[in-house]
Structure 1
Amino acid sequence: MRIGQGYDAHRFTPGRPLILGGVEIDYPLGMEAHSDGDVLIHALCDALLGAAGLRDIGYHFPDSSAEYKNIDSRHLLTRVMGLLDKEGWMLGNADITVVAQAPKLSPHIESMREHMSEDLRTPLKNINIKATTTEGMGFAGRGEGIACYAVVLLQTVTDQPL
């Protein structure tokens, strides 16, 4: 078994959709990013890659590449899962925390979990997503952006699923 952790943060910008966990959320601001700015998936990809010892999301999908301009981050997650497959890893579980003062994310958590369960090819029970605020402190608390932390457990494909 291997454990990995990931972190991502993006600032808000007008004129873009807000996408978290593959879910488009009705909000007047989106994330400033080269891709679609899905901080949840970016943190998750980093956690998965880190657990497998495969560097980080920027190494595999550099923001200097036109190929990844405005790309749906779920495609990046699918590619990360392909890398894990080649190395003989599967997800045991993922625990993800989104840090945002706004918008309210609780109505969207189950949809995010369903998307991540599908993309990670694992039962829904293996995906936990939480949302928290910072009580007005820091960049997220001031409503400047969103951050996300992810922790994953990988196990070899030959292990029994958790």
Structure 2
Amino acid sequence: MFILLIPLTVLAAQSDKIDPALLGLIRENPSSEVRIIVELFERPTNEQIEVLKGDGMNVTHVYKIINAVAGTAPAGKIERIAGHPWVKKVWLDRTVRALEENEPTNETSENGTSREMVSEVPVFIPLLIVLLVAVAILKIFR
């Protein structure tokens, strides 16, 4: 009985590492190609990037400021990608916009995504923007 529970424990741990919005896409259409950001615990190595490619990910960008890579992958392969011990989280790579002051937060946009997802943006994205602005300001005033 214990041996049967091990795969279930592993799958639960992997789904904890996947953005809830991305989990929904995986379940809806596992054969679709999805834009993702794979956040790692440390700087991605060439070997890790090759493993991600072997898992079906088309790595299009390696971030220099954060420990992450971006690209596309078949939705059905994302749980495998999340299963690597060096992967911290797999995020749906989506466009984020600020809400207007009086704009409701529970409507659905024209592409079917909830505006509430704005609160699910990875923490590192706003930090990345602040860091990039600070670097630009420093370069201007040098």
Give the number of the structure whose residues are more often strand, by fraction: 1
Larger Rg: 2
TM-score, scaled relative to structure 1: 0.27
TM-score under structure 2 length normalisation: 0.30
Question: Larger helix proportion, structure 1 or 2?
Answer: 2
